[in-house]
Structure 1
Amino acid sequence: MLATAIKSALLLIATGLLAARVSPAEEAPMPPRQILLEKMADLPANPINARVIRVSFPRGFKTPLHTHEGPGPRYVVKGKVRIDEGGQINTYGPGEVFWESGQWMSAENVGDEEAVMIIFELAKPKASAP
C-alpha cells in the first residue's frame, strides 16, 4: 500500500513537472520599432541588383560630382554629411536617413570626425559579357 502511494505521489509530481515544462512560456513583448524612412519608389528593373555599401569619409572630405548605379535609402551611422543632390542641399547626422534618387550629387563630411554612411543601392543588374 505504501509503495502504491509513493508511486502515485511520484506520478503526480512528474506529471506536474512535465506540465510545467510544456506549458507555453510567456511571450516577450515585441521591441519598439521606428520607421526611419518610408517611400514609394519605382524600381529601375525587375529583378534588381540590391547592394548594401559602407562608406567612410575622413574629416573635411568632399566627393566630386557623381552618380550611383541606382537610387535608394542612405543611413548616416556617424558624423555629419552635407548632401548636394540636383542643387538641393541637406545636412544629415547620426541615425538620419535620406533617399538618394540617382541624380548627380556630391557628399561632404562637415563634422568634426570621420563620417560613416550605409548606402542601400537598388540598381539594374549589370549586363554579362558575351
Structure 2
Amino acid sequence: MLSTSVPISTMDGEDTEASTPLNPLLDRKSPGCQGGPVPSCWLLYFKPIVVISVGTLLFVSGTTLALLSFTQVGNVPYLLGPLFLFVGLMFLVTGLVWVPMLKQSLEQQPLTEVNHGKGDQVEHKHH
C-alpha cells in the first residue's frame, strides 16, 4: 500500500510522522456497497454516471443538429450533427460498458484478498 508520510512537530518539540494512504478506497475493509466504513456507491459510480450523462447530452444534441441540418431549417454546418452523434454515442457506450465492469471487479475483489481481517477474529467457547 502506498502512503505519504508527513513530519509533524508537536508542542513539545518532538517530531512525529503521520501517514495518509494515497488511495483511501484500498484501506477499507470491504470495497463493495454493503455496510461497513465504505464510501457510498455514488462515489464508486460517479465517473461512469458522468460519462453516461455527457454521452446522452451529446447524442441528443447531435440528433437535434442532424435533423436541423438535414431538413435545412436552421443554418447548421453539415458535419456538426453527425460529429456530435458519433462522439455522444462513444461516450454513452463507454459509460454503459464501464458500469458492469466496475460491478464485476467489486464482486471479485473480496475473493482475491487472502485472509483479510480474519486474524482479528476471536472465537468464544461456551462451557
Q: What is the TM-score with the length of structure 1 in the denominator? A: 0.22
Higher CA-based Rg = 1
Q: Which is helix-richer, 1 or 2?
A: 2
